[in-house]
Structure 1
Amino acid sequence: MLKDLFAQVPGTTAEALEVFDSAGSVEPDFMFGTWRGAEVPTGHPMDGLLAATGWWGKRFVDAETVHPLLFPAPDGASLWAFDPAKAFLGLGLTRRLPGLRDRSLAGPVGSLRPVLRTRSPRARLRTTRYRGTDTATMIYDQVPVNDVFRRLSDDAVLGLMDMRGLRSPYVFVLRRDDSLRMER
């Protein structure tokens, strides 16, 4: 997905911020729908973590109903929502044991689905000012994280995860993909 979105994929945080700053702002309603995600490796301490877990993307139903962490269900035709409060509890462990990022965690995440799953939205969508521009921002309900978006195209955005305690943002992309339904 990255090579489809960038002439040259950013390889550092500084390069990703240049792309972000030059990209257009996003209105919250532009984000409504389901989006497939991918990490942009920049040397960030979290690089590889979401990919290792099998993360699929995000779903924005409306400004009050956002599912920030979607994973593929066992049927392969639907998605389930991971409770971010539980996801960020595991973040401390991966910081202490960075080798976990190099392993597939999709199996353990999938097998713990009954415990990790949520049916309730766990984020909201607002416009905030970030790096001097007003743009759509996903605000997590239970963790000190904001995902800020800028438009790459009519069906893709560049996202920066701004998390309290991290010196630099974690970088990812989202591309609109409404092909899978939410698991019931």
Structure 2
Amino acid sequence: MHLTELMDTVPSNTADALDLFDASPAVETDFMIGTWRGAELPTDHLMDGLLAASGWWGKQFVDAETVHPLLFPTPDGQALWPMNPALAFSGVPLAAQAPSIKTLSFAKPIAATRLLWRARSAKARLRTTRYRGVDTATMLYDQLPINDVFRRLSDEAVLGAMDLKGADRPYFFVLRRDGSLPVR
């Protein structure tokens, strides 16, 4: 199933997204190992549009201790590079408050300055946590109060709920397995 097909079947508001999340099976941590292409799931969250505007490509789970939560394509599109989420999320509160900023594309400026944004090591880890009453695979950011919790949509796709400390509801995204580009 292609990511666009998945997006057509996924709800577009928080209540329906939570219903789908709660109805979907838990994910084992081993299932998450690999490289995943991501897409935002718009649910009228303050962060809706920010990852798309940034040019975010997806995530890579090398093993339980080595996770790259923010992957971006190189300018030539032939590889991926990991961004340091502590730097990336520093501007999110301001950007989330300015809806017009989400219509701009920051992909080229981010790619051009990738040496400043680049993570020099993995910035997250993978664990099983209990979220909404179910034990499931969760990506824990090393430097941020954020957990990305996963539920299975298919053998090749998961629904992610980003649980941000202090947020009143999760931010949703979909990941689909895609090892087509190397991470450098």
Give your verdict on TM over 0.5. yes
Distance change in 2, residues 1:156/1:131 (3 Å): same
User: Given residue 149 of structure 2, which amino acid in structure 1 is its aligned partner?
Assistant: V
Other-structure match for 1:52? 53
Q: With the length of structure 2 as denominator, give the TM-score of the two structures.
A: 0.96
Other-structure match for 1:143? 144
Displacement after TM superposition at 1:146 (Å): 0.1
Other-structure match for 1:177? 178
**CA distance in 1: counterparts of 2:29 and 2:175, whole angstroms:** 14
Aligned residue runs from structure 1 range 27-176, under 5 A: 27-176=28-177
1:2/1:9 contact within 8 Å kept: no
2:157/2:177 contact within 8 Å kept: yes
Give 3-state SS (helix, strand or coil) of 2:143's partner: coil
Give 3-state SS (helix, strand or coil) of 1:93's partner: helix
**CA distance in 1: counterparts of 2:132 and 2:100, whole angstroms:** 33
Give 3-state SS (helix, strand or coil) of 1:87's partner: helix
Displacement after TM superposition at 1:6 (Å): 5.5
> Structure 1 residues 72-81 or 52-61, which shifts more?
72-81
Q: Could you say what the CA RMSD is over the residues aligned between the two structures, in angstroms?
A: 1.2
Q: Which runs of 4+ in 1 moved over 3 A?
A: none
2:7/2:41 contact within 8 Å kept: no
1:2/1:40 contact within 8 Å kept: no
**CA distance in 1: counterparts of 2:5 and 2:114, whole angstroms:** 32
Unaligned segments of structure 1, at least 5 residues: none
User: Given residue 30 of structure 1, which amino acid in structure 2 is its aligned partner?
Assistant: F
